[in-house]
Structure 1
Amino acid sequence: MSLQVQSLNSDTTFALTFSHPALRKPFVVILDPWLHSSPYVYHPMFANQSHTTQPCISSISELSPVPDMIIVSQKKTDHCNEETLKELDWSSAAKKTLLYAAPDAGRIILGWQWFDRRRLRLLRLGETVKVELRNGEEKPTAEDPAGWLELLLMAPKRLWELPSLHNAVGIKWVVPRELGQRNQILSILFSPHGAPIASLRPWLSSLPPQPQTPKIEANEQTTASPQPNLSLLIHPFCRIHSLLGGEIISGFPGGFSICRHATVGNWISAHDEAKEVRGITVGLLRYRLWNADEVENDLKREGIEGVGVNMLHAGHEVCIELC
C-alpha cells in the first residue's frame, strides 16, 4: 500500500496516486488543477499571474490513468481554473471522474454552464465526505479491502483571516485491518495558502497518535504525551504579506505551527513557484522564502526532527508507504 505524490506544475497542482493490492488500478486524485492561462484577481490590471516553469503535462487530458477525483480547494482562479478543468474529456474518457469543490468554487463551476451538476460534490464546512476506493463498478473485496478516503474542508471563521484563502482540505486514507486491530490511516493535509491552527486542531486531534516512547528523566521512566500523526503536509514554505490585504500565504511560520501540534512525517511545499506576477498590487507584496534546507534546519533548531522536507518541481514525485 502506497501513496505517490507528484507535482504537475511546481505550484499547487498535485497528483495523488493511491495503490493497494485490492485495486485493479490505482486511485488517482488531482488537487487544484491549473496548467496554463493567466488567472487574475478581480481584474487583470489589479493582479494576475502566470507560470514561469513548464508544467510536466500540457493538459489534464494527458493523465493516465484518468483521475478518479478532482479536488478544488478554493475559488481563486489559480486553484479553480476554467481552462484547465474544461480540457478533461468529461463525457467519455473521464465519464466516471467526480469533482469535489469548496462551496464558493462549486458555485463558480456551475456558473460556467458546461458541467453536469450530478458530477459535482460540495465540500461543506464541518461535514466529512466518505469516498470508497472502487475497482470500476466493483467494491474492494471484504478479504482484502483498499478502504476509503475521508475528506473534510476546514476554514477560519474570522474575517481578517481571509477565509476564502486560508482554508484547507484534510484527507484520510482509512484501510481496515483484522478484527480487534486499529484501522491503518494515512493522513494528508492540503493547505495551499496556510490555515490558522485553530481551524485545523479538531481534525488533527482526530488522527491516530504516534506510538508513545519512554522518556528517561531523573532516573525515572516516564511516557511522553503522544501527538497526532500527520503523514503528509502540503503547505507553502514562502510567506507572502500584502500591505493592502494582510497575510496572503502563511509560509514556513504557518507550517511550523502545524509541526508543533502534530508529528509530521513529510512536508511538501506548495504555492512556491516563482510566478510572474503583474498588476497594481505587485508593489504591495512582501516575500520571505525558506528553501528546503532552511526549513529542515529551522525545524531541528526548534527540536522538531524526522520531517521529510521536499520542494518538488514539475514532474518530480515522492512515495509514502503505508505498512
Structure 2
Amino acid sequence: MSLSVKSLNGDTSFLLVFSPPVAPLSSPGLFPGSFTILLDPWLVGPSIILNSIFSISEQKAQPCISHLKELDHEPDLILISQHKPDHCHEETLRQLPPDCESTILAIPPAAKKIRSWKHFRPELVHALPKYVEGDAQSIYRIVLPPPTPRGSCGQVTVTWMPAKRDIAGVHHAIGITYRPPCTVLSLGNSAHYLDLPMSPPASPGSPMTIASSPRTIVPAPYNDREKTLSVIYSPHGVSYDIIRPYATSHLVSEAALPLTALLHSFDCVENPWWLGGNISAGSPGGLEIAYNLYAKAWISAHDAEKDNRGWAVMQTRIGQHAVDEVKEMLQQGHGSKSKNTMKTVVVSLASGEQHRIERG
C-alpha cells in the first residue's frame, strides 16, 4: 500500500494517488481500489485578490502541465482548501468539462464560490464538513468497492479543521484517510483471489462510535487494526491543538498512525495585523504536528517563489527555511520524543516531481 504525492506547480497544487497493497496484474491504468485526489489546482494565469492593485501573484516556476486534461486519469476527488484564488483558481478549474465525473469537495466559502460559476453540475460540488469529535456526520466518507465480488469495501474520509479566531481565514487543516478495499489472495498464486463470503460495507457511523472516549495516540504496528494511509494538508499551518481531537479519535480508531504525509509550509510569512497578521506558520508549527503524529514524510507546501505585487503584500515579511534546516530541527528532538524516535523524511518537490511513501 502506498501514497504518491506529485507536485503540479511546485507550490500547493498536488496530485495524491493512494494505491492498495495488491491488485490483479492484468488491470489497466490505476489498480482497482486506487484513489486519486487533486489538491488546489492552479496551473495558468495569475491569482488576483479583489484587483491587481490590491494583490496579484504569478508563478515563477512553470507548472508541469498546463491543462487538467493532461492528467493521466480524471481525479476521483478535487479538494479545494480555501476560497482565495491561489487555491480556488477559477480559470484552472474551468478546464474541467461541465460533465466531468470528479467530485469537488471544498470548504464552505469555496463551495459557494464554485457553485456561483454555474459551470459544474450542482450535485458534484459539496461543502466540506467541519470536524466535530464524536459526530460521524462531520466526516465526508467515500466507499471504495472491492476489486472482486468477494471482498470488503474500503473507505476514504475527508474532514476540515479550521482555527479559531483566524483573522486571515487561512489557518486550518484538512484530514484525509485511505483504507483500501480488501480481498484475500491465494497463498499459492498472488494473482488469484479466494472465493470468500461477501462482506458488507461498514456502517458510516461505526468508526466514530468510540471517538468520544479518551484515547492515546499509538502508532502502528502497535495498533492491531488494518492499516490506513493518512494525510494532513495544512499549507498555511494550524495549531496542533486544533488537530488533536481528530488525531486522538478518528486517526487512532482507523489505525492511521503514524501519519503518512504532512503537507505543510516550511517558510514563515507575516503581515501587519490589519492585513491578517501571520499568514503562514512555517516550520515551527509544522514541527509540532510532525512530532505528535509521528509523520513519515513532511512535504513542503506553499513555499514556491512567486511574483507578488500590490498594496496587500508591500509589508509582507518571509522567513525562509531550507530542507536541511527543517531536518536539523527534527533531529534536535521535541520534548519526550528524542531524535532517535523521529524518522520523518523532509521533502521539497519542484514542479513535476513526486514522492512515494510505502506502508506495509
Match of 1:268 in 2: 299
Deviation at 1:53, TM superposition (A): 0.2
After the TM superposition, which residues 112-127 of structure 1 pair with which residues of structure 2 at under 5 Å, given as runs?
Answer: 112-126=117-131, 127=138
CA offsets, 1:120-145, max 9 Å, x none? 121021210111235xxxx5446455
Match status 1:198 vs 2:235 = no
For structure 1, the residue ranges without an aligned partner over 5 or more in a row are: 212-226
Match of 1:49 in 2: 57
Match of 2:227 in 1: 184
Match of 2:175 in 1: 170
| Amino acid paired to 2:247 | L
Distance in 2, matches of 1:86 and 1:25, equals 28
| Amino acid paired to 1:131 | I
Match of 1:87 in 2: 95
Match of 1:249 in 2: 280
Match of 1:3 in 2: 3
- Contact 1:208-1:229 at 8 Å conserved across structures: no
Deviation at 1:283, TM superposition (A): 2.4
Distance in 2, matches of 1:89 and 1:287, equals 38
Distance in 2, matches of 1:204 and 1:250, equals 20
Distance in 2, matches of 1:99 and 1:110, equals 10
Higher deviation after alignment, 275-284 or 171-180:
171-180
Deviation at 1:260, TM superposition (A): 3.2
Q: If each structure's strand is expressed as a fraction of its own residues, which one has the higher value?
A: 1
Distance in 1, matches of 2:87 and 2:322, equals 23
SS at structure 1 position matched to 2:311: coil
Distance in 2, matches of 1:256 and 1:24, equals 35
Match status 1:293 vs 2:330 = no
SS at structure 1 position matched to 2:270: strand
Match of 1:128 in 2: 139
Deviation at 1:49, TM superposition (A): 0.2
Distance in 2, matches of 1:289 and 1:264, equals 22
| Amino acid paired to 1:276 | D
Higher deviation after alignment, 113-122 or 231-240:
113-122
Match of 1:208 in 2: 252
| Amino acid paired to 1:208 | V
Match of 1:152 in 2: 159
- Contact 1:6-1:14 at 8 Å conserved across structures: yes
- Contact 2:173-2:238 at 8 Å conserved across structures: yes
SS at structure 2 position matched to 1:298: helix
Match status 1:77 vs 2:82 = no
- Contact 1:140-1:146 at 8 Å conserved across structures: no
SS at structure 2 position matched to 1:284: coil
Distance in 2, matches of 1:263 and 1:202, equals 16
Root-mean-square deviation (CA, aligned residues, Å) is 2.3
Distance in 1, matches of 2:226 and 2:165, equals 35
Match status 1:229 vs 2:258 = yes
Distance in 2, matches of 1:230 and 1:26, equals 19
- Contact 2:290-2:298 at 8 Å conserved across structures: no
Distance in 2, matches of 1:143 and 1:184, equals 20
Deviation at 1:232, TM superposition (A): 0.6
| Amino acid paired to 1:15 | L
- Contact 1:133-1:149 at 8 Å conserved across structures: yes
Q: Cα gap change, 1:146/1:100 in structure 2, threshold over 3 Å: closer, same or farther?
A: same
Q: Cα gap change, 1:57/1:176 in structure 2, threshold over 3 Å: closer, same or farther?
A: closer
Higher deviation after alignment, 100-109 or 25-34:
25-34
Deviation at 1:197, TM superposition (A): 1.7
Distance in 2, matches of 1:7 and 1:73, equals 16
Match of 1:38 in 2: 46
TM-score (norm 2): 0.78
| Amino acid paired to 1:29 | I
Distance in 1, matches of 2:149 and 2:162, equals 36
| Amino acid paired to 2:252 | P
Count of aligned residue pairs for this structure pair: 298
SS at structure 2 position matched to 1:319: strand
CA offsets, 1:271-292, max 9 Å, x none? 0100100001322101111111
| Amino acid paired to 1:182 | R
TM-score (norm 1): 0.86
Matching residue within 283, 302, 307 for 2:344: 307
Deviation at 1:147, TM superposition (A): 1.4
Q: Cα gap change, 1:69/1:151 in structure 2, threshold over 3 Å: closer, same or farther?
A: same
Distance in 1, matches of 2:35 and 2:262, equals 20
- Contact 1:133-1:140 at 8 Å conserved across structures: no
